[in-house]
Structure 1
Amino acid sequence: MSITAPASEVQKNFGAYHDRALVEPVRVTRYGRETVYIISADAYRSLKQAQRQAIASADLSDDEVKLIEDAEIPAEHRYSLDDLAE
């Protein structure tokens, strides 16, 4: 869960929102539009670590390889080489 606060309020009470961000993300809006989130350093590191994780194909189980082989592209996301010429 996250809380939402306008940027002007965050600017006035940064310390309080800083402390709140240690527990949960703070969604900051400007003119009613979401612009940034304030998150803890631990949450940021966790997100970056998850983004960096890669798995070698040799590390996949036979079941995982089979799932990938059997996967199909949804019709609305398919294209042919003819589509590229357009």
Structure 2
Amino acid sequence: MASVAASEIQKNFGEWHDRAFQEPVEITKYGRTSAFLVSATLFKAMWASYQRTLPVDALTEDEIGMIARSKVEGEQAYTLDDIPDHEDAPASAGSKV
């Protein structure tokens, strides 16, 4: 991914606009990432897959029923009891305990 200073974007916007059709362009200001320039096609694809969260009480009874009846296909069956509590879970590399 290309990375460019905001001042360079201002000077040569056309060039970076065209480059955004090939790959996202990271825009920096004072050495820190401040924005990304992406094509409309990529933005629309990302926006379409963006998922918002909502509180459980905002779900309808039908939606709760669908969740309750859902199944995850896999080689082995599992239950929520198979998921360790946070305190019992092994620490992953690089995590602080």
TM-score interval (norm. to shorter): 0.5 to 0.7
- Report the counterpart of residue 79 of structure 1 in structure 2: none
The count of aligned residue pairs is: 72
Using the size of structure 1 for normalisation, the TM-score is 0.66
SS in structure 1 of the partner of residue 47 of structure 2: helix
- Report the counterpart of residue 43 of structure 1 in structure 2: 42
Deviation at 1:21, TM superposition (A): 0.6
Matches within 5 A, 1:5-84: 5-52=4-51, 56-57=66-67, 58-61=69-72, 63=74, 69=80, 70-75=82-87
For structure 2, list consecutive stretches of 5 or more residues without a partner in the other structure. 54-65, 88-97
Q: Which amino acid aligns with 1:10?
A: I
Cα 1:73–1:48 change in 2 (3 A) is: farther
Using the size of structure 2 for normalisation, the TM-score is 0.59
Higher relative contact order (CA 8 A, sep 6+): 1
Identity %: 31
SS in structure 2 of the partner of residue 52 of structure 1: coil
Deviations 1:52-84 (A, max 9, x none): 389x52443354xx5572333533xxxxxxxxx
Deviation at 1:49, TM superposition (A): 1.5
Aligned alpha-carbon RMSD (Å): 2.7
Structure 2 CA distance for aligned equivalents of residues 52 and 9 of structure 1: 33
